């Protein structure tokens, strides 16, 4: 059996031979590099092709909106969507081929302006569809300047690659000469360094490693050192050590997360108990007195306004107290067979006046009622109300909320009921998005930071999950999924 010393020495000898052979081949290859210049520039040519197709696909979109105005044929809109997808595909390829900060900057400006132009174009189409040709034509005329700017950016992007190809040609010839000189010097230095490496490995590394391997192996016999499988002994010890380190790290991470959650839960419990004993009882008395006063006193308009503000703020305090108590005392699910569509309708009726006051349009897209499944309608309604209120609060200037209901089969879970809530708000920043479900995290000045945490907990206790996606300035979407087939959810309710 070959010892570790012999194996390493053999490997190093092979490395020396391979390095010398590789250096010789590289020297020969360098002399041929100039003849391969056209092939090496193929990447830039591909990028140039992408920039050309980018301009062509943009030009190809010109006129569809006008043709739709003239004919009112939806085929023009369909064709325009196909051309837009083609343009976005070429834009993606161009971004992948970009290699300079200047080209990336041009593409970023191009992408930003195109999405703005596309949004304006969609608005024009909607105006035409709604029978407002004059308003649509006025906006249509304004966005033509944006289209011309897009064409200029495409031409600028293509020009960068033309210049890049020429620069590569010049730099390639200069670098080939330098590389040839470096390789000649490397041939000499490579042999010297490899010899020094062998000496260093034997004296400083191989001897200590060999001694460590034989000192920690479990052979328990008197086999000569030169014939022992020191590689296997050392490998086993290292693998065992790495395994223990990995297990320990996983345990530490799990314990750390558990500890953090336990601390949060303990804090919530203390806060909830304090709020319940110190605030809620006197708060109830205050609400009853205010109710009695309102019925007996004759207030002028200013006094009535002040009275309403006080009542509203007391209700706000009561809601915060309720959230703390609800989060710390998890109520048991009381399930019955019910369609989630009915719960959605109840939540919308509850928030009807809120929608009117904030000028929010709500649309429900469903082909029929969702199938009846075991759910706690009261708690699910609370989760939906929290999600919808968040959407309303995000749209300060009003907007639209679209609620889409559907079912689908997800292996191996079976049939899943999906409720998607989309808004047209400003979206959520990426650094905030990953924290929104954490207890006590809130971007609102008066928020308790428990609404979304409670909503997620309710959904998860139903055996489902709650997912969020958001892009800044493009709205936010919450996807609520509930299992519709018999399984863990039924067991939890039984």
Return phi, psi of residue 485, to 5°: -105, 165
Nearest to 349 by CA among 388, 318, 303, 294: 388
Q: How far apart are CA 272 and CA 268, in angstroms?
A: 6
Q: What is the pLDDT of residue 333?
A: 78
Let me know the angle formed at the C-alpha of 112 by 109 and 117, rounded to the nearest 5 degrees. Answer: 115
- The residue segments making up the domain with residue 169 are 1-228
**DSSP string for residues in 62-131:** TTHHHHHHHH--HHHHHHHHHHHHHHHHHHHHHHHH--SHHHHHHHHHHHHHHHHHHHHHHHHHHHHHTT
Tell me, what CATH number does 308's domain have? 1.10.287
Nearest to 98 by CA among 153, 51, 147, 60: 51
Nearest to 457 by CA among 270, 328, 318: 328
Q: What is the pLDDT of residue 225?
A: 47
Q: How far apart are CA 62 and CA 246, in angstroms?
A: 59
Q: How many domains does the chain divide into?
A: 3
Which of 175, 193, 228 delimits the end of a domain? 228
pLDDT tens digits in sequence order for the chain, 494 residues long: 666 567 667 767 777 776 777 677 777 767 666 565 555 455 566 666 777 777 787 777 777 777 777 777 888 888 888 888 888 888 888 787 776 788 788 878 888 888 888 888 888 888 888 878 788 788 878 888 888 888 888 888 777 777 776 776 677 667 667 766 766 666 676 677 677 667 767 776 667 766 666 665 544 445 554 445 555 665 666 677 667 777 777 778 767 776 776 576 556 656 655 555 566 657 666 767 776 776 777 777 787 777 777 777 777 677 666 666 655 556 677 888 999 999 999 999 989 988 998 899 999 999 999 999 999 988 899 899 989 998 998 888 889 999 999 999 888 788 899 999 999 999 888 888 888 888 776 766 555 667 788 888 889 888 899 999 998 888 999 999 999 864 444 444 44
Residue 60 sits in the same domain as residue 181: yes
Whether residue 383 contacts residue 460, with contact meaning beta carbons closer than 8 Å, is answered with no
Q: What is the pLDDT of residue 418?
A: 95
Residue 312 sits in the same domain as residue 349: no
Residue 463 sits in the same domain as residue 358: yes
Residue 345 sits in the same domain as residue 385: yes
Which of 329, 352, 384 delimits the end of a domain? 329
Q: What is the pLDDT of residue 484?
A: 83
Tell me, what CATH number does 62's domain have? 1.20.1440.210
Q: What is the pLDDT of residue 489?
A: 43
**DSSP string for residues in 229-248:** -HHHHHHHHHHHHHHHHHHH
Q: How far apart are CA 244 and CA 250, in angstroms?
A: 10
Residue 183 sits in the same domain as residue 200: yes
Q: Strand, coil or helix: what is 41? A: coil
Residue 139 sits in the same domain as residue 10: yes
Whether residue 39 contacts residue 27, with contact meaning beta carbons closer than 8 Å, is answered with no
Residue 453 sits in the same domain as residue 307: no
Q: Give yes or no for a cis peptide into 420 (omega within 30° of 0).
A: no
Residue 130 sits in the same domain as residue 31: yes
Residue 216 sits in the same domain as residue 157: yes
Buried b (16+ CB within 10 A) or exposed e, 334-371: ebeebbbbebbebbbeebeeebeeeebebeeeeeeebe
Q: What is the pLDDT of residue 363?
A: 94
Tell me, what CATH number does 443's domain have? 3.30.565.10
Residue 241 sits in the same domain as residue 343: no
Query: Who's near 220: CB < 8 A, 6+ residues apart?
Result: none
Residue 80 sits in the same domain as residue 224: yes
Residue 318 sits in the same domain as residue 406: no
Where does 276-359 have alpha helices with state H?
281-296, 301-328, 340-350, 352-358
Q: How far apart are CA 172 and CA 269, in angstroms?
A: 69
Residue listed under structure tokens 């837009």: 84
Q: How far apart are CA 428 and CA 474, in angstroms?
A: 9
Which of 184, 206, 228 delimits the end of a domain? 228
Pairing of strands 414-423, 465-470: unpaired
């Amino acid at each position: 059996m070959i010892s570790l010393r012999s194996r390493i020495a053999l490997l190093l000898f092979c490395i020396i031979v391979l390095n010398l052979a590789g250096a010789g081949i590289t020297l020969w290859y360098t002399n041929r590099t100039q003849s391969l210049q056209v092939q090496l520039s193929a990447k830039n040519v591909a990028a140039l092709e992408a920039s050309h197709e980018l301009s062509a696909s943009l030009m190809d979109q010109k006129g569809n909106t006008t043709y739709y105005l003239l004919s009112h044929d939806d085929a023009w809109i369909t064709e325009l969507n196909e051309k837009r997808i083609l343009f976005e595909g070429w834009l993606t390829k161009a971004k992948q081929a970009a290699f300079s900060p200047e080209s990336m900057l041009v593409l970023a400006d191009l992408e930003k302006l195109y999405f703005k132009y596309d949004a304006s174009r969609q608005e024009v189409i909607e105006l035409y569809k709604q029978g407002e040709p004059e308003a649509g034509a006025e906006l249509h005329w304004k966005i033509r300047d944006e289209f011309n700017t897009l064409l200029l950016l495409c031409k600028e992007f293509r020009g960068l690659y033309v210049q890049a190809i020429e620069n590569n040609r010049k730099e390639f010839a200069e670098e080939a000469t330098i590389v040839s000189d470096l390789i000649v010097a490397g041939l000499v230095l490579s042999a010297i360094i490899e010899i020094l490496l062998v000496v260093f490995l034997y004296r400083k590394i191989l001897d200590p490693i060999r001694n460590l391997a034989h000192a920690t192996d479990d052979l328990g016999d008197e086999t000569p050192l030169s014939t022992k499988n020191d590689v296997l002994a050392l490998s086993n010890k290292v693998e065992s050590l790495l395994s223990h380190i990995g297990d320990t790290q996983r345990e530490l991470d799990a314990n750390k997360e558990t500890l953090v959650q336990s601390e949060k839960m303990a804090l919530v419990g203390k806060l909830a108990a304090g709020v319940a004993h110190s605030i809620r009882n006197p708060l109830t008395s205050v609400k009853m007195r205010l109710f009695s006063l309102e019925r007996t006193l004759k207030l002028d308009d200013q006094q009535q306004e002040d009275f309403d503000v006080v009542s509203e703020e007391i209700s706000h305090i009561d809601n915060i107290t309720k959230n703390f108590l609800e989060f710390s005392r998890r109520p048991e699910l009381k399930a019955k067979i019910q369609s989630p569509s009915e719960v959605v309708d109840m939540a919308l009726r509850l928030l009807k006046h809120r929608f009117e006051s904030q000028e929010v349009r709500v649309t429900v897209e469903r082909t029929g009622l969702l199938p009846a499944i075991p759910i706690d309608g009261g708690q699910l309604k609370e989760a939906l109300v929290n999600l919808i209120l968040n959407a309303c609060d995000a749209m300060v200037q009003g907007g639209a909320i679209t609620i889409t209901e559907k079912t689908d089969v997800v292996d191996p879970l079976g049939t899943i009921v999906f409720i998607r809530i989309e808004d047209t708000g400003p979206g959520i920043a990426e650094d905030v998005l990953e924290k929104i479900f954490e207890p006590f995290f809130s971007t609102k000045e008066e928020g308790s930071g428990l609404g979304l945490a409670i909503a997620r907990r309710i959904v998860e206790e139903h055996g489902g999950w709650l997912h969020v996606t958001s892009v800044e300035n493009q709205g936010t979407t919450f996807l609520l999924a509930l299992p519709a087939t018999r399984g863990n959810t039924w067991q939890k309710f039984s």
